[in-house]
Amino acid sequence: MTRGGRTKSRDDAERRCIATGETQPKAGLIRFVVGPDGTIVPDVLERLPGRGIWVAADRDALATAVKKNLFSRGAKQKVTVPADLAAQVEAGLVRRVVELISLTRKSGHAVAGFEKVKGWLADGHARVLFQAADGSERGKSKLWTPEGGRFFGCLTADELGLAFGRQRVIHGALAAGGLERRVVEEASKLRGLRGTYGEFIAGKDAKDV
């Protein structure tokens, strides 16, 4: 329970990053476990059995954990760290974000396409704006972050296309409710792993996750 007597939810739970030493909400961390063969395995969905080892969703933090052999320390045993661990985490997060957007779309809480997104922004229906990192800067600058809402641009047009069953998607928006919070959290982790990749401004008041 919290100091005020409120029971902590799963989203409020905190863990300590082995790289930074800081304790923070799980929403900003990536969980790892030790596989049966002693290899470190990313657990993006946080469902794998075993003692969790947590690292901030940041490429530098992950690099530090690998370089300083902090996974072995965290696991309290000798472990093997795959050379492509960062790539594995990134790929897992991409799949997760795409899956969540797809589920949001199926529930009617997401749209794609410039005109549809612009309409949602104009009438206040949109809560989150997302745009492809590799889309036209000129086109992207014509849309804006919802007032009090969020923005992210960490996926490519092909990756966003997967979420909408299309070849490519440049502009998309999420309505409030449903999986909106989860999409933003996972997209924020992905941006941390991709660093400044795809970072740009959508309008004058862009607020990236």
115 CB contacts (<8 Å, ≥6 apart)? none
Distance CA 160, CA 164 (A): 7
Q: What is the pLDDT of residue 83?
A: 96
Query: Which superfamily is assigned to 89-194 in CATH?
Result: Ribosomal protein L30/S12 (3.30.1330.30)
4 CB contacts (<8 Å, ≥6 apart)? none
Under a CB-based contact definition with an 8 Å cutoff, are residues 121 and 140 in contact? no
Q: Hey, what CATH topology would domain 10-83 get? A: Hypothetical Cytosolic Protein; Chain: A; (3.30.1230)
181 CB contacts (<8 Å, ≥6 apart)? none
Domain regions of the chain by residue span: 10-83, 89-194
Fold equal for 10-83 and 89-194? no
Distance CA 176, CA 59 (A): 29
> Using one digit for the tens of pLDDT, what is the confidence trace for 91-116?
999 999 999 999 999 999 999 999 99
Confidence of residue 181 (pLDDT cuts 50, 70, 90): very high
Whether the model clears a pTM of 0.85, i.e. scores above it, the answer is yes
In degrees, rounded to 5, the angle at the alpha carbon of residue 107 between the alpha carbons of residues 105 and 111 is 30
